[in-house]
Amino acid sequence: ELKVEQNPLFLSMQEGKNYTIYCNYSTTSDRLYWYRQDPGKSLESLFVLLSNGAVKQEGRLMASLDTKARLSTLHITAAVHDLSATYFCAVAPSGTYKYIFGTGTRLKVLA
Amino acid sequence: EPEVTQTPSHQVTQMGQEVILRCVPISNHLYFYWYRQILGQKVEFLVSFYNNEISEKSEIFDDQFSVERPDGSNFTLKIRSTKLEDSAMYFCASSEAPGQGATGTFGSGTRLTVV
């Protein structure tokens, strides 16, 4: 059974600092997604990563995928308060659309 | 921008009652999904639906759950006899034709409270 683990679970960081969230998964997948969720809100799609070595960037967020290591990272550059949210990675095993979500990383950016 | 619409936003029901959660997916999407999120926890896959039948389901999606696309626009999740542990936020999502780039668009959710 596919397992998806994120770390850290909680992250409190100062504005202007950099940090990385990690997403490990346990079986072969050809698609990895990152979502953002604000408190009490729905999930907003951030990135989809499809191949080994894929890197996507949007603003202060950059996501990468290493399929050999079964690892994705979400890197935050020069954090700002507006990035405070919970970030989820989600993986679908090859050949399925059964997205399995990670545990989530609750990010709080302190002014 | 196209949206996935869910109704109601909040439903309170007595234990043992049936509830139907409704979703209107994005019109040109072909894959539909239900997920749930117990408060403060991770998002859990329930079921995917394509071409008028269930494609995949999780172990959570037992006999008390069913899905239906009763017409060309709605996609519903029925819980036959609700239990206290069914209290959660239920998200509907839809995506385009099968393809690696297809990302799910999520609705705003229905908060189900079973009392």
Residues B33-44: tens digit of each pLDDT: 999 999 888 899
Mean pLDDT estimate for chain A:
92
Q: How far is A54 from chain B (nearest CA, A)?
A: 13
Cβ neighbours of A50 in B, within 8 Å: 100-101
- Which DSSP letter does residue B84 get? G
Q: Specify the 3-state DSSP secondary structure of B25.
A: coil
B34 phi and psi angles, rounded to 5 deg: -125, 135
Residues of B in contact with A35 (CB under 8 A): 106
Which tens digits make up the pLDDT trace of A53-91? 899 999 999 999 999 999 999 999 999 999 999 999 999
Token reading at B81: 């006899």
